[in-house]
Amino acid sequence: MKALRLHGTGDLRLHEEPPPTPGDGELLLRVTAVGLCGSDRHWFSEGGIGDAVLTEPLVLGHEFVCTIESGPRAGDRVAVDPAIPCRRCAVCLAGQPHLCPQLRFAGHDSTDGALRSLLTWPERLTYPLPDTLSDVEGALLEPLGVALHALGLGRVQPGTSAGVFGCGPIGLLLVQALRAAGVTVILATDVLPHRVEAAAAMGATHALHAEEALAERALERLPGGLGVDVAFEVAGENAAVADAIAATRPGGRVVLLGIPDGDRTSFSASTARRKGLTLLLSRRMAPGDLPRAIRLVESGRVELVPLVTERCALSEWRDAFGALVERRGLKVVIEPQRVSEEET
């Protein structure tokens, strides 16, 4: 089988490797679609993410859809939860397995991810993919689950006003999820014009370039003129954190999803303190978020197709990661079973 391994900063290599053998409770899966994430960009560009650093060649990719390769369910298509908690520690037993200190995560640390032809994964972490969703759409279910988890932290409900600061794929999924949750005022900002346009197309009521978002006239257009009830920072940039804090009303909530370069986030404390804001940090998905994401897309309240702007074969990884690093388009999806023109 083929596997794309990261050997060092910017050093990806395509390997031929023997197929894996499933253990107890595992399935052999043929990978059909993998979405590239901002965290994959950190691994590729920095050789690590946060306090996890590359110590051996690693297969990236945690947003993935597969077809079951063998056994009684052979041929079934499944979305996959990329997180494997221990299920034994106090954190897991308290109902927060996504925060498990021993958690293994696809494409992170020493756990190989999905940028390969075949992999094995616990059957309990696979979910049937509805016939109405393509494999490529299914690769966006995990980031939608991340957005839904953040919505819960923000205590979003109908009538809430919200801001989304950073309109990459997760930010745009947040915009759609906010709209589906009954939010009628959605301020969305980004530094890239094509992302601002996408936010407007996906339901933001105020889609603005980041430089003009906090102009006095922009906040005056919001109900009450005091700012939004809850802000989601999804850029991983200090400027976006500052904008989120500035745009949130007194007593509001700010949810940080972005992963900063260098593993550091900073902001001026006086504004956040004076407003009495609640700051929360969001980590991945919580239990139940992936099935919720599937139901939300199946109902038609969130669209995934418009977010996919590049599709590549595994052998076209240079184009795929180039688009990721340069932030071209929106979501890049690699299809390991796809044959490139050069391979035909």
Residue 252 and residue 153 in one domain: yes
**Would you give the DSSP letter of residue 324?**
H
**For residue 44, what are the domain limits?**
2-140+304-343
> In the prediction, which pLDDT does 338 show?
84
Query: Is there a domain that residue 293 lies in?
Result: no
Residue 260 and residue 319 in one domain: no
pLDDT per residue over 186-197, tens digit each? 999 999 999 999
Query: Is there a domain that residue 132 lies in?
Result: yes
- Mean pLDDT in residue range 165-181: 96
> Do 187 and 162 contact (CB within 8 A), yes or no?
yes
What's the gap between Cα 16 and its chain centre? 28
Query: Is there a domain that residue 294 lies in?
Result: no
> In the prediction, which pLDDT does 342 show?
65
Output the domain CATH number for residue 175. 3.40.50.720
Output the domain CATH number for residue 119. 3.90.180.10
For residues 304 and 137, give the distance between their C-alpha atoms in angstroms, rounded to a whole number: 6
Half-sphere exposure of 58 toward its Cβ, with a 13 Å CA cutoff?
25
pLDDT per residue over 310-327, tens digit each? 999 999 999 999 999 999
Residue 118 and residue 245 in one domain: no
Residue-averaged pLDDT of the chain = 92
Query: Is there a domain that residue 162 lies in?
Result: yes
Residues constituting the chain: 344
Residue 157 and residue 275 in one domain: yes
Residue 104 and residue 62 in one domain: yes
11-20, 38-47, 333-342: which has the minimum mean pLDDT? 333-342
Is the pTM higher than 0.75? The answer reads: yes
- Number of separate domains in the chain: 2
> In the prediction, which pLDDT does 332 show?
96
Query: Is there a domain that residue 292 lies in?
Result: no
Locate 80 and state its tokens.
Answer: 């996959």
